[in-house]
Structure 1
Amino acid sequence: MPELPEVEALRRFLETNAVGAVIGRVDIVALSVLKTFDPSPTELQGRDITAVGRWGKHLGVRCGEHWLITHLSRGGWLRWIDNPAVAPPKPGRGPLALRVHLFTPEAETPAFDLTEAGTKKRLAVWIVKDPKEVPGIARLGPDALEVSREEFGEILSGASQRIKNAITDQMLIAGVGNAYSDEILHAAKLSPFAMANKIDPGPLYDAMRDVLTEATSRLVGEDAARLKGEKRSGMKVHARTGLPCPVCGETICEVSYADKSFQYCPGCQTGGKPLADRRMSRLLK
């Protein structure tokens, strides 16, 4: 799932490449992605793109008085195309959900696609006048790179849940998901199962800012097509089950649930003790 660093990198990519362009045709390939129907996507045609925004993991372009906002969810992505086909794409089972054609001041005609891999279709698109009309944006907590140290401490002190869940709860802190929470907790040397209201928030705050700032700096400027690979290349524990920790050399472990998993280093985070894994517990019975 794209998280704050990738979405911020996409925002800056669109800010560089799309602001100043005029929207041409909007092709809706998968009607299910549209979560609003008034105004119609056709009303965006002929509108100038004047700004690009990010709200947590939501990304949006301002088109005249409206915003076209998307949440890429787990399998979604934005793809830039320099020379798109003139003919409208046909609805089908492929990953393409929506295409926005552009006319740039340089007389070029690129487009950007919103695509979604996998069978579970959760990619969402809204067309609104105010970003806060999007339910997920209206409920967001402060951005992970904008929250103050004091506010972060207050949020954690009132969170009676495990720290892994707290920092990925978008209503508490916006922008952090499964992957970067693994990296943040590893950098802070905290167990994912530690209770949020029982820890010292200072080291976690510093780790969160360091991890997200470094990742954003590394990704900004990359072509949109390369961001996924660059994200994976910077990970120290996430998606590295069975590999040695680059900090202490201990084998990275995993906790699995029904539809997701997370990784951690026992040496750095849990005093050498493995965490309970429900999947393995069932196999050992």
Structure 2
Amino acid sequence: MPELPEVEALARDLAGRLDGRAVVRVDIANFSCLKTFDPPVTALAGGMVDGVSRHGKFLDIDVSGTHLVLHLALAGWVRWKDEVPKLPARPNSKSPLAARIVLDDGSGLDITEAGTRKSLALYVVRDPQDVEGIARLGPDPLSADFTVDVLRGILEEAGRAQIKGVLRYQSNIAGIGNAYSDEILHAAKMSPFKPANSLTEDELELLHATIRDELGAALARADGLAASELKGEKKSNMRVHGRTGEKCPVCGDVVREVSFADRSLQYCATCQTGGKPLADRRMSKLLK
């Protein structure tokens, strides 16, 4: 899933490509992705692109004051096309194409979603705050408003909830997902199961600095890359996320996994849990 660094880099890339362009039309190829009806998609036709921005993990394309907002979910992406077909995209539930934005110079964007689990969401709204997911976002971790005190309040309110889940919950902190929460906790040498309200003052300051450092470094690596390069850049720089069974680059221990119904987390026991593997019935036999 694209997270804060990739969505921010994608927004910056698209801002340069879309600047001064007019939208000819927006084709919806998979109607399940469209979550709004007023304004209609046709309201975007003829509008000028005034900017592209990010809200958490949401991408926001401002078209003359009407906003096309995207949440790319687990397997969605935006693909730039120097030339798009002249004929409108036809609805096709088996195609990865969810929607297409056609611009006045014949170029455009294909919004795609791989796999059969369709959760990509497209909204056409007058104000980004009309999107419920945006309205309930927590603070942006790279903003000046995200202070140690703000993080302290978030963790205290979460009580004894596991810190991994607290970092991922968008109403707590906007933009951190499964991958970067793994990377942040590994860099901070904290167990993903550590209770949120159990951090010492030193641990709190370390976690705050690590959140900003990890996301800032990822954004610096991604900034300036084309959309087609962002996924590969993210994957190649993960130390533990998605690295189950490989060696931890810090200590050489094996990277372990805890699996859940629809996701998993990765961690290093030596770096994060004092050498003690976390309980996981699925993976324990493989990692003994």
TM-score by length of 2: 0.94
Q: Paired residue for 1:100?
A: 101
Shift in Å, 1:83: 1.1
Shift in Å, 1:264: 0.2
The residue identity in structure 1 corresponding to 2:91 is P
Aligned equivalent of 2:224, options 209, 213, 221:
221
TM-score by length of 1: 0.95
> Conserved in 2, the CA contact under 8 Å of 1:156 and 1:201?
no
Q: Paired residue for 1:148?
A: 147
State the alpha-carbon separation in 2 of the partners of residues 79 and 240 from structure 1. 27
Shift in Å, 1:278: 3.3
The residue identity in structure 1 corresponding to 2:97 is L
State the alpha-carbon separation in 2 of the partners of residues 139 and 282 from structure 1. 40
Find out whether 1:159 has 2:158 as its counterpart. yes
SS in 2 for 1:158: helix
Shift in Å, 1:257: 0.9
The residue identity in structure 2 corresponding to 1:13 is D
1:1-285 correspondence runs (5 A) = 1-92=1-92, 93-103=94-104, 108-146=105-143, 147-160=146-159, 161-199=161-199, 200-280=203-283
Any idea what the Cα deviations from partners look like across 1:229-281, whole Å, max 9, x if unmatched?
A: 11101100000011111011111100011121110001110111100013246
**Aligned residues: CA RMSD:** 1.5
The residue identity in structure 2 corresponding to 1:153 is R
% identity of equivalent residues: 52
> Conserved in 2, the CA contact under 8 Å of 1:153 and 1:202?
no
SS in 1 for 2:244: coil
> Conserved in 1, the CA contact under 8 Å of 2:258 and 2:265?
yes
The residue identity in structure 2 corresponding to 1:95 is P
> Conserved in 1, the CA contact under 8 Å of 2:31 and 2:91?
no
Q: Would the alpha carbon gap of residues 243 and 282 (structure 1) be closer, same or farther in structure 2, given more than 3 Å must change? A: closer
State the alpha-carbon separation in 1 of the partners of residues 205 and 49 from structure 2. 40
Shift in Å, 1:164: 0.0
Shift in Å, 1:282: 9.6
Any idea what the Cα deviations from partners look like across 1:136-171, whole Å, max 9, x if unmatched?
A: 001110012121222112211221210000000101
The residue identity in structure 2 corresponding to 1:96 is L
**How many residue pairs end up in the alignment?**
280
Any idea what the Cα deviations from partners look like across 1:164-188, whole Å, max 9, x if unmatched?
A: 0000010100100000000000000
State the alpha-carbon separation in 2 of the partners of residues 278 and 140 from structure 1. 33
> Conserved in 1, the CA contact under 8 Å of 2:100 and 2:108?
yes
Shift in Å, 1:89: 2.1
The residue identity in structure 2 corresponding to 1:98 is A
State the alpha-carbon separation in 1 of the partners of residues 281 and 158 from structure 2. 24
Shift in Å, 1:86: 1.2
> Conserved in 2, the CA contact under 8 Å of 1:7 and 1:59?
yes
